[in-house]
Chains A and B, each alone.
Chain A
Amino acid sequence: MATILTIDDDITMQHVISMVLKREGHDVFSAASARDAMDCLARFHYDLVLVDMMLPNTNGLEIIGAIKQKWPYDTPAIIVVSALGNEKNVQDSFDMGADDFLRKPFSTSELVCRINRLLQRVTHK
């Protein structure tokens, strides 16, 4: 069981991800903006962060940069979720330090598999 933070301004998306991951036994928290996300991260340690690329007033890459800068030695695993799945966005995400990239629309099984695999890798470290 892991503690996961989803950063997405789309309430339906938050709802869907939260439902699927809760069924897998994870604790899921949601933030709708960069400020909410940073507040959550400052208060609590998360094992994994799911961040949307397009957010109000900012983008997912900036949030990844901020997380990496603020918690350089204790960074949670990061998955970027985006409908903008072109080569450049994927490359930029990995360059910024994301651990995985998930294109929308995705299947629920793919979401669960990727998260579990990433959590396993983080635990083995």
Chain B
Amino acid sequence: MNYLTGLPAQVQIALLILLIAFTGILFSMVILLLYRLVMYRRNKRERICINTIQALLAKEVVLNEQLHRGTPVKAVVLDIAAFKAIPLHKKWCRQLLVAQLIEYRHLLSGKTAELLRKLYVELGLYRQARSFINSARPGHIAAGLHELCEMAMPADKDRLLMLAQHTDRNVMEMARCACVRLLREPLVFLKEVQKPLLPWEKLELLRLLSLRNDVCLPEFSGFMNEAYHHSVISLSMRAAAWFQQFEAIPALMKMLDNPEQELRAEAVNALGRLGAEVAEEILVQRYTAETMMVKIEVVKALGRIGSGRCLVFLEQELTDGEVFELRKKSARSIIQHKALAKNNIQRLTEHTIGLPHLMIVHSANPLIRN
């Protein structure tokens, strides 16, 4: 120590730094080794547990003899004691089993999937997921919602509606999806929507709704009014087209007067997808006064409706129009008329030159989608 104090201050500082660095490295190495040891032991433990779980699921569910003989799922007696032999009171073990149940339900449908759910209920695994959705931690809520949805477990309607208003965006989106998947009235949360539904969320909600074969679809025209958030109106218009609700056509035509161009464009799109011939004349009349976004949708809708009454309009737009995108869409819409536009297509192909000719030839090529 005396030797050190006799050294210059710079050397003392350098030695101190060296000492700190060496201790730090040593400490990190020990932590790293301990972490690897813990992970190794956990992996080993999980591997053994997962093999036991898979063997039990194979015997009790996938190859269930009672089910194979035609016994109804409700009457199948599961060997719950065998599952209770694995340490389900431990969090990691419960999670492993639930993950396996969810994975099997992704692969198998029908009676086997019902039996997996029965096992989940009889083991009481749903209790933790239910307590999770009542938790204050967003991560827990999301995990609980995911589990209940995947296992098709009923959930408290009021709680789900409350979560659909959650401040955490992830929880809110998951709760909206959970409402569609689990509630008897899947779209009940739409009344309370205050934050916009994102484009991908609309698609996901529609996809989930189309998977529900145990509920009656609501009339989407009921959501097309000012009382609802504009993203809900947009979703309902898309849904009306997706589920081919022709009775929504009058409500969609009313939406053409909406001040927001996005909603007008969505309404025109839905009318096109519903093949609403009654709307054709109005669409053409409003065309010149509309914004570019709506104009594009009008031209596309006329092609989808394909009655043949607007071929002259589309042809004029293709040959005399000034906007490239509109001319291209017009060409595409003319082609969509198929046999009805046979003469128009022939005439345009033979007698036009330059851009209109290129556009019609391009659109007529079935190998080119856009």
Interface contact A16-B104, CB-CB below 8 Å: yes
Interface contact B103-A12, CB-CB below 8 Å: yes
Interface contact A20-B62, CB-CB below 8 Å: yes
Interface contact B62-A105, CB-CB below 8 Å: no
Q: Report the minimum CB–CB distance from A11 to chain B (whole Å).
A: 10
- Chain A residues bordering chain B, tally (CB within 8 A): 16
- A109 within 8 Å of B (CB atoms): yes
Interface contact B54-A108, CB-CB below 8 Å: no
Task: Report the bound CA distance from A105 to B58 in whole Å.
Answer: 17
- For A110, the closest partner residue in chain B by CB is B110
- For B111, the closest partner residue in chain A by CB is A107
Q: B residues 304-330 with Cβ under 8 Å of A? A: none
Q: Report the minimum CB–CB distance from A42 to chain B (whole Å).
A: 29
The 8 Å CB contact of B107, one of A23, A105, A109, A110, is: A105
- A45-80 to B contact mask, C-beta < 8 Å, 1/0: 000000000000000000000000000000000000
Interface of A is mostly: helix
Interface contact B63-A104, CB-CB below 8 Å: no
Task: Report the bound CA distance from A104 to B111 in whole Å.
Answer: 14
- A19 within 8 Å of B (CB atoms): yes
Task: Report the bound CA distance from A67 to B63 in whole Å.
Answer: 32
- B363 within 8 Å of A (CB atoms): no
Chain B residue contacts of A19, Cβ below 8 A: 58, 62-63
Task: Report the bound CA distance from A16 to B105 in whole Å.
Answer: 11
Q: B residues 54-103 with Cβ under 8 Å of A? A: 54, 58, 62-63, 68, 100, 103
Q: Report the minimum CB–CB distance from A68 to chain B (whole Å).
A: 23
Chain B residue contacts of A107, Cβ below 8 A: 108-113
Interface contact A108-B110, CB-CB below 8 Å: yes
Chain A residue contacts of B112, Cβ below 8 A: 107-108
Q: A residues 18-48 with Cβ under 8 Å of B? A: 19-20, 23
Interface contact B108-A108, CB-CB below 8 Å: yes
- B347 within 8 Å of A (CB atoms): no
Q: Which of A105, A108, A109, A110 has the most CB of B within 10 A?
A: A108
Q: Report the minimum CB–CB distance from A120 to chain B (whole Å).
A: 21
Known contacts A19-B63, A20-B62, A20-B63; decide if A12 and B104 are in contact (CB<8 Å).
yes
Chain B residue contacts of A15, Cβ below 8 A: 54, 58
- B106 within 8 Å of A (CB atoms): yes
Q: Report the minimum CB–CB distance from B337 to chain A (whole Å).
A: 23
Chain B residue contacts of A109, Cβ below 8 A: 110-111
Known contacts A23-B63, A108-B62; decide if A16 and B107 are in contact (CB<8 Å).
yes
Chain B residue contacts of A104, Cβ below 8 A: 106-107
Q: Report the minimum CB–CB distance from B24 to chain A (whole Å).
A: 41
Interface contact A12-B110, CB-CB below 8 Å: no
Chain A residue contacts of B100, Cβ below 8 A: 12
Interface contact A105-B103, CB-CB below 8 Å: no
Chain A residue contacts of B54, Cβ below 8 A: 15
- A84 within 8 Å of B (CB atoms): no
- For B110, the closest partner residue in chain A by CB is A107
- B126-161 to A contact mask, C-beta < 8 Å, 1/0: 000000000000000000000000000000000000
Interface contact B62-A106, CB-CB below 8 Å: no
Chain A residue contacts of B58, Cβ below 8 A: 15, 19
Chain A residue contacts of B104, Cβ below 8 A: 12, 16
Task: Report the bound CA distance from A106 to B107 in whole Å.
Answer: 7
Chain B residue contacts of A13, Cβ below 8 A: 107
A16-B107, A105-B109, A110-B110 known; 19 other A-B pairs, CB under 8 Å?
A: A10-B107, A12-B107, A16-B108, A19-B62, A19-B63, A20-B62, A23-B63, A83-B106, A104-B107, A105-B105, A105-B106, A105-B113, A106-B108, A106-B110, A107-B109, A107-B111, A107-B113, A108-B110, A109-B111
- A/B interface sample: 6 pairs, CB < 8 A: A15-B54, A19-B62, A20-B62, A104-B106, A105-B106, A107-B112
The 3 closest A-B pairs by CB, nearest first: A107-B110, A105-B109, A107-B109
